[in-house]
Structure 1
Amino acid sequence: MPIELENVSFSYGINTPFEKKALNEVNLKINEGELWLFIGHTGSGKSTLLNTLNGLIIPNGKVTVDTLQTNNKNTNMKELRKKVGIIFQYPESQFFLPTIAEEILYAPKNFDVDLKKEEIKFYMDIVGLPYDYLNRSPFSLSGGEMRKVAIISVLSYNPKYIIFDEPTVGLDYSTRKSVFNTVKKLNNMGKTIILSTHWISEFLELKPLVAIMKNSNLIFKGKFDDFIKLDQNFLSEAGIIFDEKLELYKKALLKNDKLKDKIAML
């Protein structure tokens, strides 16, 4: 079953001088096993949209996750949030337990999930964190290692949909690469991944689906290659700038399209 958003709108500070529209009539369908990149300017509405997917924000319109509607008073929100795990920006700021093992086990206990030792080791292997770290304090780790613990803490209750909201903010290149590899592994395992990022080219080989947010509006949703071929002014106005890798890929795509057109005219 998919995640579906129908005419989703949301404003902060309603009926105050600081009222600001964050989402405007957003419609989107996310199917099982897909990988989506949400991109756009800071403040475009990406994080707000992601937070509607597991009921942290209840918008106007309809958000449905596997038939569960977030704005239905009869919906079991614990069941819904067990399906949709979110890894926030700087998730390590939410650590509060003395050991890594306790941090990892906290969410499974909350969701009544029996997490076995071999499963913990499996998740630690996925993110590249040594198993003998379990008895360490999470506050003794490097920033990148803390981010990995935060990811394991979400993987630990085995959510069907995994949301990464700017997961590489503040990380060095090596750790950023490790997080990207983790995303790829999870998607290859069949997990549905929804990711807000500015680092688009890292996902070129996976050809993810792309959603562009601008000024609270969803202005593009579609296949990766269709996104790549969008007009440069359209992309720039949405705060999207291609690096050299994406520029080369775009040139190759456009060259291939011209070749196809010539063949079709023969």
Structure 2
Amino acid sequence: MPIEINNVSYTYAEGTPFETIALKDITWRINENSMWVVLGKTGSGKTTLIQTLNGLLIPKNGEILVDGIYTKDQKNDIKKIREKIGIVFQYPENQFFLPTVLEELMYAPKNFNKTISQNDIYNILNLVGLNKSFLKRNPFTLSGGEMRRVAIASILSYDPKYIVFDEPTVGLDYDGRKKIWNIIKNLRKIGKTIIIVTHWIDELIEFKPNVLYIQNHKISFNGTFDDFILLGEEELNNKSISFSEKLKLYYCSLKNNIKLEKLFHY
């Protein structure tokens, strides 16, 4: 079953002098085993949108269903929804609060009353490119790239169907970014539904995810990656998407129907 967002609006501090509209009439369907990138200028509502998906924020107007469960229905155990949707936040250190990596990986399964074996933990570490020596380490002593991968591992520990990445490669060097994209590639192979919030799309050419673009708190584009790129340089620049040399080359390949995939693989 999909995630269904139907006519969702969200306003912060409604009815006060600080009232701020974050989302307006958002309708979006996320099918199982799909991949999406959510784009938009700073303040457009991207982060608010992803926080409504697993009930961190409950919209007053509209409704969200996750595998048929309403996030707004107080009779539902919100843990059932959060067990299905894992969010890897932009700054992984904000997710950590335990003294060892092992304890971080064990916390969510205990919270969701799920069994995780030692072999499961080793498999998760392998998937994110870490070895078992990391289990005894303090997550706050790790490098930025290692922290990011431990954050992903902590989400994988309870095996959610949908995984949201908020700016997954921000602040990382080339090697660190490459490792993150390889993890995402492997998650796609095992059937995870992936949603990525970012300002940058160069590194997504290989994946060609569906694109949701939010402008002035509303959806202004919902379609394929190639159709988004074919909007052209002027339109993408207006949307604050940097039309890099890599994107220009890919745009030209689309316009001229030339297959250049090998040039865009990490």
Paired with 1:190 and 1:15, the residues of 2 have a C-alpha distance of: 43
Paired with 2:245 and 2:165, the residues of 1 have a C-alpha distance of: 25
Q: Which moved more, 1:134-143 or 1:32-41?
A: 134-143
* Percent of aligned pairs with the same amino acid: 53
SS in 1 for 2:15: coil
Map 1:196-207 to 2 at 5 A: 196-207=197-208
Paired with 1:94 and 1:191, the residues of 2 have a C-alpha distance of: 21
- In structure 2, the residue matched to 1:107 is 108
2:115 counterpart of 1:84: no
Where structure 2 has 5 or more consecutive residues not aligned to the other structure, the ranges are 259-266
**Would you say the 8 A contact 2:125–2:131 is kept in 1?**
yes
Deviation, structure 1 residue 207 = 1.4
Deviation, structure 1 residue 90 = 0.4
Deviation, structure 1 residue 74 = 1.7
**Would you say the 8 A contact 2:41–2:199 is kept in 1?**
no
C-alpha deviations, 1:4-25, integer Å up to 9, x for none?
Answer: 1110100111112221111010
C-alpha deviations, 1:157-192, integer Å up to 9, x for none?
Answer: 000000011122222221122111111110121100
- In structure 2, the residue matched to 1:139 is 140
Q: RMSD across aligned C-alpha pairs, in angstroms?
A: 1.3
Paired with 1:178 and 1:117, the residues of 2 have a C-alpha distance of: 23
SS in 2 for 1:9: strand
TM-score by length of 2: 0.93
- In structure 1, the residue matched to 2:30 is 30
C-alpha deviations, 1:59-91, integer Å up to 9, x for none?
Answer: 120111000011112222111100011111102
Paired with 2:64 and 2:221, the residues of 1 have a C-alpha distance of: 19
Paired with 1:243 and 1:129, the residues of 2 have a C-alpha distance of: 32
Paired with 1:138 and 1:20, the residues of 2 have a C-alpha distance of: 36
SS in 2 for 1:112: coil
Paired with 2:91 and 2:154, the residues of 1 have a C-alpha distance of: 13
Deviation, structure 1 residue 100 = 0.7
**Would you say the 8 A contact 1:213–1:238 is kept in 2?**
no
Paired with 1:27 and 1:96, the residues of 2 have a C-alpha distance of: 35
- In structure 2, the residue matched to 1:180 is 181
Where structure 1 has 5 or more consecutive residues not aligned to the other structure, the ranges are 258-266
2:4 counterpart of 1:4: yes
Paired with 1:49 and 1:43, the residues of 2 have a C-alpha distance of: 11
2:32 counterpart of 1:54: no
Paired with 1:164 and 1:119, the residues of 2 have a C-alpha distance of: 22
Higher helix proportion: 1
